[in-house]
Amino acid sequence: MAQNDFRSMSIYQIWIRSFCDGNGDGIGDLTGVYSKLDYIRSLGVDAIWFSPIYPSPNADYGYDVSDYRDIHPDYGTLEDFKKVLNRAHELGLKVILDLVINHTSDEHPWFIESCKGKDNPYSDYYIWREPRLKKGRELLPNNWYSQFAGPAWEYCPQRGEYYLHLFSKKQADLNMDNPKVREEIKSIMRFWLDMGVDGFREDVITFISKHEDLPNGLPFLPVINGMPYYKDGPNILRYLGEFREVAQEYGAVQIGEAPMTSVRSALRYLKGKAPVLDMIIQFDAMMADCFLTEYLHHRFSLRKLKRAFSRWQYGLAGKAWNALYLENHDHPRVVSRYGSERWWRESATALAASYIFQQGCPFVYQGQEIGMTNIHLPSIDHYLDVASRNIYHMFHRRWPEEKRMHRIHVSSRDSARTPMQWSGEKNAGFSETEPWFFLNDNYHRINVALQEDDQSSILNFYRACLSLRKGSDTLLWGSYREYFPRSRELYMYERKLSGERILIVCSFSGVGETYDLPKGYTEDGAEMLLSNYESPALGTLRPYEAQVWRWC
């Protein structure tokens, strides 16, 4: 794939374990994916991003890799993967894999060797430190917290040292300062690129270069206190530059995940003579109902969402390309968060129109295209996600159970990980046997089969949005401008190219409202391109109505 080509793409994300079970063991797999490739193509997307499909003990469901060159036996074999890859290519779909190289599983052979002592070939593959001595007491090497709560250090008795883990203790951070580790990464990249994979989504990639001294962070900041010393670290551009060279030999696209980043830091990766990434997955639009993480929940604020949208649209304009998303495997379902389960169809479709027509590559996460909603499991023991469980056990221990569980219901990543709802039949058509994780019991009402035949469905609205974008130079390349940014009910933005202007108007309210056209617009010549209601009228919105108008 030519790197300058990626910008017109839209991308469908698969979290395989819950996508489709092809062999009847209750776990999604590659045979299941193969059977759904035509469906994915029918959405009008151009690429598939697979969350990790490698062997993994699943402490963090695939983001703890124990072998970078194989397929998890639950999901199939390398042969199965090649079949999917070839068929996807035949259908015109690119395939993007998750490259998880900030850390490996503690069950990866490199780590097992590294634990054995200080003088074997893998000793320096990870970040090892002796305990800190203070007034004769042994302390952890520094005060950093892991992103999943609790300290970022774990003691290894065999080696007599601590290793760093920015995520769970089963995810040991690699020592990227070791040139041998970087050679390993490049060779892993080549392994998949030689097979024909088209690019990578690079997991927490802005964390891979740590400050040499690992200094203490601010003691009163939970979770993120070490971040100034590992985010956008001292050698990050050099390391990514090395990986970029490999990607460029193959014309592979590189999408980097960058938690808590700013436009300014993102541009360091995306701009300049030698950009090291094609796009950045930033988190700003994920914080319209919370402070920093979904767990610190507050009421949804449309103005916060719009500020996040526009900050990135204006910030990257003419300089770099946006990755646009409202859902992935790390966040609760957006219709439950920013929309309304009462105005379910209307709000899910308005949300689609609110981001797909911005400038950038839209991502659609499995189930988002049918408006899947959050799940509310009765107790923390029902949850499998390591982050949800750690957070539950760490925080607010004196809160009543009900209140604590409410926090989990609004924040858990497990809401995005329930099996895909294909039909109203047994096990939602996901599997012949009982699925590995809880189904959302609304699958009788919310499923692909029902929506296929319904022209006004969320599914068909997603298709319409993606195809409209794909066929319009203005929506692909035009400039972005937001109108009425102070409105609490309305999101209106313009895309403009040469003489053509397209106005996208989305209501975020459950009551009808009217709106004015921005200065310079008149009703004359307005052509309706798309709406989630019948007979839309310029200037009037019904609950969660979305309208796309064109002037030329």
Size of residue set near ligand GLC by CB under 6 A:
9
Quickly tell me which residue has 């374990």 as its tokens: 17
Chain residues in the site for Ca ion (CB under 5 A)? 21, 23, 25, 27, 29
Q: How far apart, in whole angstroms, are the C-alpha atoms of residue 431 and residue 21?
A: 5
Site string for ligand GLC, 150-189 (x = CB under 6 A): -----------------x----------------------
Q: How far apart, in whole angstroms, are the C-alpha atoms of residue 281 and residue 363?
A: 10
Is 38 a catalytic site residue? no
3-state secondary structure 20-69: CCCCCCCCCCHHHHHHCHHHHHHCCCCEEEECCCCCCCCCCCCCCCCCCC
Residue 363 found at the interface with ligand GLC (CB under 6 A)? no
Q: Shortest gap between Cβ of 203 and ligand GLC (angstroms)?
A: 5
Which of 475, 454, 479 shows the shortest CA–CA distance to 549? 475
Residue 204 found at the interface with ligand GLC (CB under 6 A)? yes
Residue 161 or 257 with smaller CB distance to ligand GLC = 257
Residue 203 found at the interface with ligand GLC (CB under 6 A)? yes
DSSP 8-state assignment for residue 103: E
Quickly tell me which residue has 């009228």 as its tokens: 537
Question: Rounded to the nearest 10 degrees, how much is the dihedral formed by the CA atoms of 473, 479, 483, 487?
Answer: 90
Q: Shortest gap between Cβ of 168 and ligand GLC (angstroms)?
A: 8
Q: Shortest gap between Cβ of 253 and ligand GLC (angstroms)?
A: 18
Q: How far apart, in whole angstroms, are the C-alpha atoms of residue 4 and residue 39?
A: 27
Site string for ligand GLC, 228-257 (x = CB under 6 A): -----------------------------x
Task: Phi first, then psi: give them for residue 450, nearest 5 degrees.
Answer: -60, -35
Q: Shortest gap between Cβ of 533 and ligand GLC (angstroms)?
A: 35
Q: Which residues contact 257 (CB under 8 A, 6 or more apart)?
A: 201, 202, 203, 204, 205, 206, 280, 281
Report what 25 binds from ligand GLC, Ca ion, none; CB cut-off 5-8 Å by kind.
Ca ion
Residue 202 found at the interface with ligand GLC (CB under 6 A)? no
Residue 93 or 387 with smaller CB distance to ligand GLC = 387
Q: Binding residue for ligand GLC (CB under 6 A) from 330, 369, 414, 494?
A: 330
Report what 27 binds from Ca ion, ligand GLC, none; CB cut-off 5-8 Å by kind.
Ca ion
- Which residue(s) pair with 47 in the sheet? 11, 94
Q: Shortest gap between Cβ of 419 and Ca ion (angstroms)?
A: 11
Report what 203 binds from Ca ion, ligand GLC, none; CB cut-off 5-8 Å by kind.
ligand GLC
State both tokens at 126: 């990870």
Residue 63 or 295 with smaller CB distance to ligand GLC = 63
Residue 25 or 124 with smaller CB distance to Ca ion = 25
State both tokens at 130: 């002796």
Residue 63 or 145 with smaller CB distance to ligand GLC = 63
Q: Shortest gap between Cβ of 443 and Ca ion (angstroms)?
A: 18
Tell me if residue 272 falls in helix, strand or coil. coil
Distance of CA 161 to CAs 107, 177, 321, Å? 17, 19, 43
Residue number of the CB closest to Ca ion reads 29
Q: List strand residue ranges (DSSP E) for 292-449, in order.
A: 293-297, 323-324, 361-365
Q: Shortest gap between Cβ of 480 and ligand GLC (angstroms)?
A: 27
Q: Shortest gap between Cβ of 22 and Ca ion (angstroms)?
A: 6
Selected catalytic residue, list 60, 257, 414, 545:
257
Q: Shortest gap between Cβ of 413 and ligand GLC (angstroms)?
A: 7
Report what 21 binds from Ca ion, ligand GLC, none; CB cut-off 5-8 Å by kind.
Ca ion
Residue 548 found at the interface with ligand GLC (CB under 6 A)? no
Residue 33 or 546 with smaller CB distance to Ca ion = 33
Report what 60 binds from ligand GLC, Ca ion, none; CB cut-off 5-8 Å by kind.
ligand GLC
Site string for ligand GLC, 60-89 (x = CB under 6 A): x--x--------------------------
- One-letter identity of residue 467: S
Tell me if residue 244 falls in helix, strand or coil. helix
Q: Which of residues 92-111 bind ligand GLC (CB under 6 A)?
A: 100
Residue 30 or 85 with smaller CB distance to Ca ion = 30
Asked if residue 407 lies in contact with residue 481, where contact means CB atoms within 8 angstroms, the answer is no
Q: How far apart, in whole angstroms, are the C-alpha atoms of residue 223 and residue 331?
A: 18
CA R_g for the chain: 23
Selected catalytic residue, list 203, 232, 289, 327:
203
Is 500 a catalytic site residue? no
Angle between helices 458-470 and 344-356 (to 10 degrees): 20
Stated as kind and residue range, the H or E segment containing 164 is: strand 161-164
Residue number of the CB closest to ligand GLC reads 63
Asked if residue 521 lies in contact with residue 503, where contact means CB atoms within 8 angstroms, the answer is yes
Report what 29 binds from ligand GLC, Ca ion, none; CB cut-off 5-8 Å by kind.
Ca ion
Q: Which of residues 250-289 bind ligand GLC (CB under 6 A)?
A: 257
- One-letter identity of residue 140: L
How many residues are listed for the chain in this entry? 552
Q: How far apart, in whole angstroms, are the C-alpha atoms of residue 15 and residue 383?
A: 17
Residue 25 or 500 with smaller CB distance to Ca ion = 25
Asked if residue 385 lies in contact with residue 416, where contact means CB atoms within 8 angstroms, the answer is no
Q: Which residues are catalytic?
A: 203, 257
Q: Give the interface with ligand GLC as residue ranges (CB under 6 A).
A: 60, 63, 100, 167, 203-204, 257, 329-330
